[in-house]
Amino acid sequence: MNVLISPDQKKDPGKELDVPAHFQQYLAPWSTRQYREYAFGSILTQTFLHKHYRIYIYRFQIARPVHLYFSCDEPTIALRHMMEGSVFAEVTGFGRVLLEPYRYGLLYLPPGVNQAWFEAGAAESFHMELEHTWLEEMAESSQEVAALMSRVVTASKEGKLLHHMPIDYFVHETLHAIRSSTETGGYLLMDFKTGILQILTQYVKALKDKDHLDGLPDVPNKEILVHLWEKVRADPHIHHTLARLARAHHMHEKTLSRHFQRLFKISLPAYVHEQCMGRAWFLITTTSHPLTDIANNLGYTEISNFNRAFKRRYNVSPQSLRTIKLSGNDPQNVQGG
Q: In terms of domains, do 195 and 248 share one?
A: no
Cβ within 8 Å of residue 217, ≥6 positions away: 263
Read off the pLDDT of residues 262-283 as tens digits, 9 standing for 90 and up.
999 999 999 999 999 999 999 9
- Rounded to the nearest 10 degrees, how much is the dihedral formed by the CA atoms of 237, 243, 244, 250? 140
Best CA proximity match to 197, nearest among 241, 235, 140, 157: 140
Strands of 178-337 (E only): list them: none
Cβ atoms of 28 and 97 closer than 8 Å: no
Q: In this structure, are residues 75 and 112 in contact, taking their beta carbons and an 8 Å threshold?
A: no
Task: Looking at the structure, tell me whether residues 65 and 169 fall in a common domain.
Answer: yes
* Structure confidence at residue 337 (pLDDT): 43
The enclosing domain of 312 has a CATH number of 1.10.10.60
How far is it, in rounded angstroms, from Cα 168 to Cα 103? 9
Q: Does 232 lie in the same domain as 209?
A: no
Q: How much is the pLDDT for 332?
A: 65
Please check whether residues 13 and 152 belong to one and the same domain: yes
Q: Containing domain of residue 78, as a range?
A: 2-213
Domain edge (last residue) among 213, 235, 264: 213
Q: What average pLDDT does range 160-187 have in this prediction? A: 94
Residue 95 pLDDT class (50, 70, 90 cuts)? confident
Q: Which CATH number covers residue 145?
A: 2.60.120.10
Helix/strand/coil for 275: helix
Pairing relationship of beta strands 66-72 and 41-49 according to DSSP bridges: unpaired
Q: At which of 155, 187, 213 does a domain end?
A: 213
pLDDT at 104 over 50: yes
Helices (runs of H) and strands (runs of E) counted in the chain: 11, 13
On whether the CB atoms of residues 15 and 36 are closer than 8 A, the answer is: yes
- CA gyration radius, the chain: 22
Do 239 and 306 fall within a single domain?
A: yes
The whole-model pTM stands at 0.89
Residues 184 and 223 grouped into a single domain: no
3-class DSSP assignment, residue 182 = coil
Same domain? For 187 and 274 the reply is no
What CA–CA distance (Å, rounded) separates 133 from 148? 14
Alpha-carbon span 11 to 198, nearest angstrom: 38
For the chain, what is the domain count? 2
Strand 41-49 relative to strand 95-99, pairing: unpaired
Cα gap 77→128, rounded to integer Å: 8
pLDDT exceeding 90 applies to what percent of the chain? 75
